[in-house]
Chain A
Amino acid sequence: ILNVEQSPQSLHVQEGDSTNFTCSFPSSNFYALHWYRWETAKSPEALFVMTLNGDEKKKGRISATLNTKEGYSYLYIKGSQPEDSATYLCAFCPAGKSTFGDGTTLTVKP
């Protein structure tokens, strides 16, 4: 079983704060890394697919970076809003199947 770790487990920030969290994964046999957002009472939705070392992806106030050589990816949220409250999952994807981390649960207080 592959080891995919996310930190911190949970995070509470004030509206307007910027924040970031980490996903660590095996640095060998890299294929792809996914970030998903999972809001309460909804299904997880894909945010980013990261495939190349040095990749940087951005969607609005959310961005992600990838370092495959050292085995980590960062997710950044700039100017957090209450609607950003969710669990953020990363998934390490050797071809065929994904191994998920336990997620980081973000709570943004108005």
Chain B
Amino acid sequence: DGGITQSPKYLFRKEGQNVTLSCEQNLNHDAMYWYRQDPGQGLRLIYYSQIVNDFQKGDIAEGYSVSREKKESFPLTVTSAQKNPTAFYLCASTQGYYNEQFFGPGTRLTVL
């Protein structure tokens, strides 16, 4: 079955540690996105990539980094520079002219 996988589902890290969240898709979509959700808020765009080896900052990119070495994979690193990293992180990919988004199951990151 085609889809988007994110791992792990829950992640705990100590303050000051970098952590990498995985996102893989087998939908053959060109564009991939990372969003963050905080309680009571919608999805805020962290980074997106429309093609391999290229990516752009979203609205809240500070403290995050990404890579896009393969079409299928778009990992997100939460660095120690991110002031408040505890949140729910969603990865998505898009198809079609109007950017309909397909989402993964999400990773809940808790920094202790």
As a 0/1 sequence over residues 77 to 103 of chain B, the CB contacts with chain A under 8 angstroms (1 = contact) are 000000000000010000010111111
Q: Is the CB of B101 within 8 A of A46?
A: yes
Given A4, A98, A102, which contacts B99 in the complex, CB threshold below 8 Å?
Answer: A98
Most buried by A among B41, B44, B59, B98: B98
Is the CB of B2 closer than 8 A to any CB of chain A?
Answer: no
> Which residues of B lie under 8 Å from residue A21 when comparing CB positions?
none
> Which residues of B lie under 8 Å from residue A31 when comparing CB positions?
98
Q: Is the CB of B48 within 8 A of A46?
A: no
Q: Is the CB of A1 within 8 A of B99?
A: no
Q: Is the CB of A43 within 8 A of B104?
A: yes
Given B48, B90, B99, which contacts A93 in the complex, CB threshold below 8 Å?
Answer: B99
> Which residues of A lie under 8 Å from residue B50 when comparing CB positions?
96
Is the CB of A11 closer than 8 A to any CB of chain B?
Answer: no
Given A1, A9, A51, A97, which contacts B98 in the complex, CB threshold below 8 Å?
Answer: A51
The number of A-B residue pairs with CB atoms under 8 Å apart is: 63
In this complex, what residue of A is CB-closest to B31? Answer: A96
Interface residues of A in 39-72 (CB under 8 A from B): 42-46, 49, 51
Minimum Cβ distance to chain B for residue A75 (Å): 15
Is the CB of B63 closer than 8 A to any CB of chain A?
Answer: no
Bound-complex Cα distance A47 to B67 (A): 30
Q: Is the CB of B43 within 8 A of A89?
A: yes
Bound-complex Cα distance A4 to B44 (A): 11
In this complex, what residue of B is CB-closest to A44? Answer: B103
In this complex, what residue of B is CB-closest to A6? Answer: B42
Q: List 13 A-B contacts (CB under 8 A).
A: A43-B103, A44-B101, A46-B102, A51-B98, A95-B99, A97-B33, A97-B48, A97-B56, A98-B99, A100-B44, A102-B40, A102-B41, A103-B42
